Amino acid sequence: MNNASQTRLALVTGASRGLGFAMAAALAAKGWHVLATARTVGGLEELDNRIQAAGGSATLAPMDITDDKAMNHLASSIAERWGKLDLWVHAAIHAAPLAPAGHLDPKDFDKSVACNLRATASLIPMLEPLLRAAQGTALFLDDPRGGEKFFASYGATKAAQIALARSWQAESENIGPRILIETPKPMATATRARFFPGEDRTQLADIHEEAERVLARL
């Protein structure tokens, strides 16, 4: 990267597994420099190995998106080194165990709010100036489970996250950045396996094929 201003820079939050992992790998394969953020160091190292083997480049940022201080530091580092952000893929999620609304675990619900909603609300103002500087794009991944039985914790907080993204989308229509909200196909991920343990996984989409399909929307 001889010229930071010419580097196509993508931040992927939740890059250590599932669709976030696949999106990060696909972007790197297309010549983007990927900033990969997640709590799971092992998953990030596996991603980095995959990217390097394919001739791509990545910077690993093992941190918790609910840590405002850490994420502020990351945003400041992006501003100092690159001065802009071309793409933010927000794939981080806390998938609480399924439970009836009358039997929700308060700790799991608080984790869902912290990761799925509050962290998103904190990241938007941190990253918006960087995205505007590049006339960039923020990509949110919807999973419309709100109101389904046993999905009270995950469904409610995911729906709130997407509602927040839609407000940002409407506000940014004329001034940027571009906000995209995509609904991936059902995929053979570990999260889905926890939700539907007896499901026939041969009928589910491959995460890497789905990453290519979603990225084509960009």
Tens-place pLDDT, residues 139-198: 999 999 999 999 999 999 999 999 999 999 999 999 999 999 999 999 999 899 989 998
* CATH tag, 4-215: 3.40.50.720
User: Of all residues in the chain, what percent are helix, strand and coil, respectively (each to 5)?
Assistant: 50, 15, 35
Q: What is the pLDDT of residue 5?
A: 61
Rounded to whole angstroms, the maximal C-alpha distance in the chain is: 57
Contact between 94 and 116 under an 8 Å Cβ cutoff? The reply is yes
Domain parsing of the chain, residue ranges: 4-215
Please report which helix (H) or strand (E) contains residue 164, including its range. helix 152-171
Q: What predicted TM-score, i.e. pTM, was given to this entire model?
A: 0.94
Residues in the chain predicted with pLDDT less than 50, given as ranges, are 1-2
